[in-house]
């Protein structure tokens, strides 16, 4: 048996079953002559030829060129192969291909222990869609509950405020009665005027002006179909102005605000 020191040419790092590699084996004169004399044997051989069971398989006839034996090989068995010695048989002569170490990975992915033999029950993409659907459905439910609770809360406030300010006297007459009892020179005039105006609005529009925030008041005014668009805009501007105005204002400012409130009270009385 003739021993050849061989190596993989440009060996791949991650070999898988079926990958083709080239093995080079430098030849001495005697070895080269033996191979050349028996070259007809390689032409007549049937390929592929197992060199080490199916751990290493010769795919086509060897090539001898420039004192080097070139073998095109592959592996059909995954595993780590170290210090193994494939044998190339040539009639009575045998060549031991030493110095070869290689590792072959399976092309089949490892199945998890919990995975079915026939594949996962649910595909990963389907799981992603399922998770996203659950999140959106949960958000929708939370928003729906929040909407219902908020609606119930504000409906309750609205009902309580309407009952609280319900009187036998009309809203319009009550407003002017309150105005006549006020004094422009009083330090509390602005606060009293604002309260009288808000009582009038609460009774006529059924919007809880004392309880709602400015943002919610604006939304409620805009959704009141009994008020014209122009009247809605005027009321929005006036309510915002009252919210931002300080209670400490001069006599002229008090009179100006009173005139504006009287005017819009008259307009609302005509509509409602």
Query: Which among 62, 60, 70 has a CA at the least distance from the CA of 39?
Result: 62
Q: Quick one: pLDDT at residue 146?
A: 81
Secondary structure (DSSP) of 184-207: TTSTTHHHHHHHHHHHHHHHHH--
Q: Which residues pair with 250 in a beta bridge?
A: none
Instruction: Please give the model's pTM, rounded to 2 decimal places.
Output: 0.46
235-251 pLDDT tens trace: 999 999 998 888 888 99
49-61 pLDDT tens trace: 888 778 888 888 8
Structure tokens at 270: 């005509």
Q: Quick one: pLDDT at residue 204?
A: 94
76-121 pLDDT tens trace: 888 888 877 888 887 677 888 887 888 888 776 554 444 444 445 5
Q: Quick one: pLDDT at residue 117?
A: 45
Contact (CB, 8 A) for 245 and 257: yes
Q: Quick one: pLDDT at residue 127?
A: 63
Structure tokens at 66: 């420039």
* Residues sharing a CB contact under 8 Å with residue 101, sequence separation 6 or more, in sequence order: 81, 82, 83, 84
The span from the CA of 249 to the CA of 99, in Å, is 102
Q: Quick one: pLDDT at residue 203?
A: 94
Contact (CB, 8 A) for 243 and 214: yes
Instruction: For the chain, give the percent of residues with pLDDT over 70.
Output: 90
Task: Tell me the chain's radius of gyration from C-alpha atoms.
Answer: 48
139-180 pLDDT tens trace: 989 988 887 887 777 788 888 888 888 899 999 999 999 999
Q: Quick one: pLDDT at residue 49?
A: 83
Task: Answer left, alpha or beta for residue 155, where phi above 0 means left and psi between -120 and 50 means alpha.
Answer: alpha
Q: Please identify which residue in the block is written with the tokens 């060897």.
A: 62
The span from the CA of 23 to the CA of 97, in Å, is 9
Contact (CB, 8 A) for 22 and 71: yes
The span from the CA of 175 to the CA of 26, in Å, is 114
């Amino acid at each position: 048996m003739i021993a050849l020191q061989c190596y993989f040419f440009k060996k791949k790092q991650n070999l898988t079953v079926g990958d083709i590699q080239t093995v080079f084996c430098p030849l001495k004169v005697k070895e080269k002559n033996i191979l050349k004399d028996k070259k007809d044997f390689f032409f007549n051989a049937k390929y592929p030829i197992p060199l080490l069971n199916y751990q290493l398989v010769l795919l086509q006839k060897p090539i001898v060129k420039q004192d080097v034996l070139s073998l095109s090989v592959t592996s059909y068995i995954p595993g780590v192969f170290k210090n193994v010695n494939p044998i190339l048989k040539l009639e009575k002569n045998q060549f031991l291909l030493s110095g070869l170490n290689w590792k072959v990975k399976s092309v089949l992915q490892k199945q998890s222990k919990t995975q079915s033999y026939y594949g996962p029950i649910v595909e990963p993409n389907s799981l992603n869609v399922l998770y996203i659907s659950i999140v959106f459905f949960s958000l929708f439910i939370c928003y729906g509950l929040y909407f219902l609770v908020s609606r119930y809360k504000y409906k309750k406030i609205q009902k309580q405020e309407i009952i609280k300010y319900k009187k036998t006297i009309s809203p319009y007459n009550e407003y002017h009665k309150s105005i006549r009892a006020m004094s422009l020179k009083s330090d509390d005039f602005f606060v009293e005027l604002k309260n009288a105006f808000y009582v009038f609005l609460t009774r006529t529009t059924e919007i809880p002006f004392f309880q709602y925030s400015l943002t919610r008041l604006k939304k409620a005014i805009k959704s009141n179909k009994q008020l014209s668009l122009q009247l809605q805009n005027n009321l929005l501007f006036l309510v915002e102005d009252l919210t931002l105005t300080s209670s400490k204002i001069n006599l002229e400012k008090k009179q100006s605000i009173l005139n504006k409130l009287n005017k819009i009270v008259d307009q609302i009385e005509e509509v409602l």
